[in-house]
């Protein structure tokens, strides 16, 4: 609703299109439940900047999709309902923003039109305390009270249009990060769509370099390495001859089916890039108090790893002299992915268990592809193994007579 309110306020400048709430949440389930499930992109213009706004899921059940959107952000606008206060997803969003590396946060306290002043002060204190707990300087973070509904209903109140102007003013004062426009082109793919009569379009935000129309690119990731041509480039549905780092684009890929192009793959012009499924990393196992594990991490731990805008099953191999890692401890481990991906030293990641973040880490060394095969993980043939310290022998199913 906040995204819709922002576009309404700036729709009068002749550059911004007003997007109704149900136009932003397009999926049938999103409209039925009244929540955002998939990240979507909207653009608008302030007096001095052009913003590419990613509207991310707020519901705790769709944190995975929120990660995809947050991985592309320079600034995060944390929306907290004043009528509800700090919720589990509020904590999760701040934690993920910190882990992904988002330095700038602005808080918008929504629905202040239906709470009293004492409640509003209490919620603001809770939010500031939570931000401090995760290493942010809450005193330097703007917290803006407002009501998106007042804006959409064109209600003349102190919580309506004025709050949106304060929010955009805070955004305008955030420093624009330095973009690497000189390096080899690289685009992490967020999603792929089929345009009838044209072909497959890869969508994402350029992280490095620039791309010109009709240039050759490599599609890499999940074991795929294919060369193709960028037949067309679009920025918010407008064809352009060139796009550069920081822009959210759609790239029309010549001769590729949609099922080949997946989220987490990359488009690149860097011939030095390669893929592997194995790397060495320094990891930290989060404690229960930090929203992490209650029990130690054992050898052959398997769960979903999140890095940039992709996720995949990952196995953690402990050193021979390390029987387990206690919550709150760090260790150097070998990590094996289900499929090869493009990896670089220094990349940060985290692994989730359901609704908790079990561990965080940073890649210290890239290793050759693993020769180790595990049934049900990266190999189809049955093989006995131990997961989390419990014996789990894979066996053939008996045929029913």
260-286 pLDDT, tens per residue?
999 889 999 988 788 999 999 999 999
Domains of the chain by residue range: 2-172, 197-268, 275-392
Tell me which CATH homologous superfamily contains domain 197-268: Translation factors (2.40.30.10)
What integer pLDDT is reported at residue 67 of this predicted model?
55
What integer pLDDT is reported at residue 384 of this predicted model?
40
What integer pLDDT is reported at residue 70 of this predicted model?
52
pTM of the complete model beyond 0.85 = no
Higher pLDDT, 211 or 89: 211
What integer pLDDT is reported at residue 379 of this predicted model?
61
**pLDDT above 70 for 69:** no
Q: What is the mean pLDDT of the chain?
A: 85
Higher pLDDT, 95 or 380: 95
Closest CA to 224 of 252, 266, 278, 269: 266
Mean pLDDT of 119-132: 96
As to burial, measured by CB atoms within 10 angstroms (0-12 exposed, 13-18 middle, 19+ buried), residue 258 is middle
Q: Is the dihedral of CA 28, 94, 99, 295 positive or negative?
A: negative
**pLDDT above 70 for 397:** no
Interior angle at CA 169, CA 164 and CA 171, nearest 5? 95
**pLDDT above 80 for 198:** yes
Mean pLDDT of 220-242: 93
Which of the residue ranges 86-90, 183-187, 360-364 would you say has the lowest mean pLDDT? 86-90
Give dist(CA 77, CA 334) in Å, integer.
35
Mean pLDDT of 326-343: 94
Mean pLDDT of 225-249: 93
The CATH-assigned architecture of domain 275-392 is Beta Barrel (2.40)
Mean pLDDT of 314-327: 94
Q: What is the DSSP letter of 273?
A: -
Residues 315 and 385: beta-carbon distance below 8 Å: no
Beta strands in 209-346 (DSSP E): 210-212, 216-221, 224-235, 238-240, 242-244, 248-253, 266-268, 275-285, 297-298, 301-307, 310-317, 324-325, 330-342
Give residues with Cβ within 8 angstroms of 369, minimum separation 6.
Answer: 276, 277, 278, 340
Tell me which CATH homologous superfamily contains domain 2-172: P-loop containing nucleotide triphosphate hydrolases (3.40.50.300)
Give dist(CA 349, CA 283) in Å, integer.
9
What integer pLDDT is reported at residue 61 of this predicted model?
45
Share of the chain above pLDDT 70, in %: 86
Higher pLDDT, 150 or 32: 150
The reply to whether 275-392 shares the fold of 2-172 is no
Give dist(CA 354, CA 370) in Å, integer.
27
Task: Kindly give the pairing relationship between strand 224-235 and strand 248-253.
Answer: antiparallel
**pLDDT above 90 for 173:** yes
* 3-state DSSP helix/strand/coil % of the chain, to nearest 5: 20, 40, 40
**pLDDT above 80 for 141:** yes
């Amino acid at each position: 609703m906040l995204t819709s309110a922002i576009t309404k306020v700036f729709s009068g400048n002749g550059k911004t299109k007003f997007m109704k709430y149900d136009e932003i949440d397009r999926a049938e389930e999103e409209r039925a439940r009244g929540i955002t499930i998939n990240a979507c992109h909207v653009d608008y213009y302030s007096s001095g900047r052009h913003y590419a706004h990613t509207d991310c899921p707020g519901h705790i059940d769709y944190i995975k999709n929120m990660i995809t959107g947050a991985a592309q952000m320079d600034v995060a606008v944390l929306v907290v309902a004043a009528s509800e206060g700090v919720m589990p997803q509020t904590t999760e969003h701040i934690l993920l923003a910190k882990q992904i590396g988002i330095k700038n946060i602005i808080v918008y306290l929504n629905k202040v039109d239906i709470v009293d002043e004492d409640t509003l002060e209490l919620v603001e204190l809770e939010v500031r305390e939570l931000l401090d707990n995760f290493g942010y300087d809450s005193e330097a973070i703007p917290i803006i009270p407002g009501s998106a509904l007042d804006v959409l209903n064109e209600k003349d109140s102190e919580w309506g249009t004025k709050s949106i102007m304060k929010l955009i003013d805070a955004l305008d004062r955030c420093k624009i990060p330095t973009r690497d426009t000189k390096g080899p082109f690289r685009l992490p793919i967020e999603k792929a769509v089929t345009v009838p009569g044209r072909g497959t379009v890869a969508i994402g935000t350029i992280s490095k370099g620039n791309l010109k129309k009709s240039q050759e690119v490599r599609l890499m990731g999940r074991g795929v390495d294919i060369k193709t041509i960028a037949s067309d480039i679009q920025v918010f549905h407008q064809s352009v001859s060139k796009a550069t780092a920081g822009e959210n684009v759609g790239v029309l890929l010549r001769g590729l089916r949609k099922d080949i192009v997946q989220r987490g793959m990359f488009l690149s012009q860097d011939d030095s890039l390669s893929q592997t499924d194995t790397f060495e990393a320094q990891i930290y196992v989060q404690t229960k108090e930090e929203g992490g594990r209650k029990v130690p991490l054992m050898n052959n731990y398997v769960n979903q790893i999140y890095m940039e805008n992709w996720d995949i099953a990952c196995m953690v191999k402990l050193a021979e002299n390390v029987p387990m890692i206690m919550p709150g401890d760090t260790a150097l481990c070998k990590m094996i992915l289900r499929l090869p991906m493009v990896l670089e030293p220094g990349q940060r990641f985290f692994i989730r268990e359901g609704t908790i973040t079990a561990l965080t880490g940073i890649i210290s060394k890239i290793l050759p592809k693993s020769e180790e095969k595990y049934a049900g993980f990266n190999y189809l043939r049955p093989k006995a193994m131990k997961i989390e310290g419990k014996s789990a022998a894979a066996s053939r199913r008996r045929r029913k007579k």
